[in-house]
Chains A and B, each alone.
Chain A
């Protein structure tokens, strides 16, 4: 550990707003985390003495994305869609059953617990529930200072000073280091959790629903604090949430997950204004609109029928087809690839299109080399369009032309 890194938060405290970038750090925007085809299958064991594996919960199944240094990617989806599991895979609380997590040029997906320890400093996490994420028997000082002691970053007698600095950074009274978590409100506890995550000065911060357990009035404060911290320290965020408004506020880029897969990724404007996946459209139409309510007008709300299928036995082809209003035969036969259809826009749907203007013929038929029913068609020469890649390419599959284009 070099001294530069150690002093960083203190420096920043003094000169507010400066982004200090050490030599080895990535320039903002350069890819720091690349996840490719990430898989997490949890075994389902039978009951009884001999516990055989009778199936797998496919919590995360082939997720790929990129995260640039100092950027933030939002991950949204309903409960149980695998977004939290994705976060826990990236922090390596779970060991993925497949795929790669490329962090800073190293594939940490298969690292052993011993190998992962130095990486822990770089990838940290903010937890959802500030009431269970802080040990009730430890003081704030020992909670925030524990990472320093474990990684032996700071001599023991200097820990207190650093802890107080960190508490001040997250907007808590540094005098409170000697108190216990139960003496703080939810918002303050979450600030303690944030201070703990910052202690090691991570490059990537996974925020797993960091505000969903908080009062609405406190949510904005905490989100703004995270924004400020991101600006100051150049931390890349993977922001997991189910609140679309908060994600829109926080993340320039958003990925939508459904049943363990990313169904649509796009920059904020595209995703919120021109979503192409029916699931994203349904999600967005479920957001209450105050303006509409005031005028008295009612938007057409896209209602999804039925329940989310079990991730133990997901539907064939497209996982969303059981609830999708557009579903046709091809959806059961062919899994739609996550195709790039715009400069910063990817979607995994055979009938991708803006709401109300979905195409009648599958747009992916040409790419997959199948006919419109999803059966292999030897007469079709598959268009070479990269699919299921982590990042965005310079060329993409243009939907209206059904061909590769450069915009």
Chain B
């Protein structure tokens, strides 16, 4: 590469012969293209990307599969074709493997006999929806606030900084739990948010709001730091010098340089929100059954951790796979975007 560049340098000084063969050979590649090329070379990241893509496809397909009847997450099954499915005395599925059969590939839920595979598959849709909306909310608000703080400096910056400190010093988990029922009631009755079947929309929205409201400060701090360092770069001065407006300065010159860190934040926030949804659900905040999420599946299984071991294992394992693959994807994207950054 270096020899090519020095060749170009000498070429640049000389007259340019028509049809410079060198120019056609060296194809221009944008920073994004280079990052993609680096990403493709990283096998682990590509594997993580594949898993994440599969999870996404599964999540998008699930509602249609439910509509078509292929997945049935809500019907109770007391009996199967071969006989009794749920033992009425214990509530557990009959047989050794939690009711695994040709009809119920991952067994059935103890007590109700709902199909575990259907519930998990459909649960991906809701969990991902919450995680994505929460992460989008977090990143959008955080980036906007961060740019404003970094761009304005002075009093505004200081005020936003104190605001961030304030939000970060809240005992978040405790407040969430304490505020969950009045919060949901407020959304439902005062703001008249359409509640959806089983109030799952309102409950989900509450979780998203909470994740976003308490998540943005981290993003804002990071983005502010980036803006502060970027705006001292000479290309920003150069843009000022050619008469660029403030809008152009921040959104055309600085923002494109922020996409990389923001994208990384997004992919790393997503998995934490998937597990946060599960944790919140366990504590009683979030979408309630019969609408499935990975969180409430896990919550439902905690009584059966020993007696119906597999019913506990499957959703836990799925959450683990999702979180690990998202994290690996985030790391991979970060490394691809910043070849100099070390882990």
Interface residues, chain A, with chain B CB atoms under 8 Å away? 49, 88, 91, 93, 117, 120-121, 124-125, 127-129, 132-139, 146-147, 150-151, 168, 171-176, 178-180, 182-185, 187-188, 191, 193, 196, 199-200, 218, 221
Give the interface centre of B16, B158, B234 by most chain A CB atoms within 10 Å.
B234
Contact residues in B for A132 (Cβ distance below 8 Å): 233-235
| Nearest CB of chain B from residue A218's CB, rounded to whole Å | 7
Q: Tell me what chain B mostly uses at the interface: helix, strand, loop, or mixed.
A: helix
Residues B6 and A185 in contact, CB atoms below 8 Å apart = yes
Q: In whole Å, how far is B341's beta carbon from the nearest beta carbon of chain A? A: 15
Q: Closest 6 CB pairs between A and B? A: A137-B256, A133-B234, A179-B28, A147-B242, A120-B243, A135-B235
In the bound complex, residues from chain B placing their C-beta under 8 Å from that of A173 are 8, 11-12, 16, 20, 23
- 24 A-B pairs in the complex with CB atoms less than 8 angstroms apart: A91-B241, A93-B237, A120-B241, A124-B241, A129-B234, A133-B234, A134-B235, A135-B253, A135-B257, A137-B259, A147-B242, A150-B243, A150-B248, A151-B242, A168-B16, A171-B12, A172-B12, A173-B12, A180-B28, A182-B31, A185-B8, A185-B9, A188-B8, A196-B242
Interface: B191 (CB within 8 A): no
**Chain A residue at minimal CB-CB distance from B34:** A182
Instruction: Determine if A93 and B241 form an interchain contact, defined as CB atoms under 8 angstroms apart.
Output: yes
| Residue B51 CB within 8 A of the other chain | no
**B243:A121 contact, CB within 8 angstroms:** yes
Minimum Cβ distance to chain A for residue B289 (Å): 47
Contact partners of B23 in chain A: CB under 8 A = 173, 175-176
Q: A135-B235, A173-B23 in contact; A180/B31 too (CB < 8 A)?
A: yes
Q: How does the 8 Å CB contact mask read for B315-338 relative to A, with 1 for contact and 0 for none? A: 000000000000000000000000
Is B75 positioned at the interface, with any CB of A under 8 Å from its CB?
no
Q: Is B169 an interface residue (CB 8 A)?
A: no
Binding site for A on B (CB under 8 A): 5-6, 8-9, 11-13, 16, 20, 23, 26, 28-31, 158, 233-235, 237-245, 248, 253, 256-257, 259
With A173-B20, A187-B9 as given contacts, are A151 and B243 in contact (CB-CB < 8 Å)? yes
User: What's the Cα separation between A133 and B240 when bound, in Å?
Assistant: 12
Alpha-carbon distance A146/B242, docked complex (angstroms): 8
What are the residues of chain B within 8 A of A180 when measuring CB–CB? 28-31
> CA of A91 to CA of B240 in the docked complex: distance in angstroms?
10
Within the complex, what minimum Cβ distance (angstroms) separates B5 from chain A?
5
Is B13 a contact partner of A196 (Cβ separation < 8 A)? no
With both chains docked as a complex, state the minimum distance between the C-beta of B26 and any C-beta of chain A, in angstroms.
Answer: 8
Contact of B13 among A147, A175, A221 (CB under 8 A): A221
Contacts of B242 in A (CB 8 A): 120, 124, 146-147, 150-151, 196, 199-200
B29: chain A residues within 8 A (beta carbon): 180, 183
Chain B residues lying within 8 Å of A175, measured Cβ to Cβ, are 20, 23
- Chain B residues contacting A185 (CB-CB under 8 Å) are 5-6, 8-9
- Closest-by-CB residue of A relative to B253 is A135
Q: Which of A136, A137, A138 has the most CB of B within 10 A?
A: A137
A334 to B29, CA, bound (A): 61
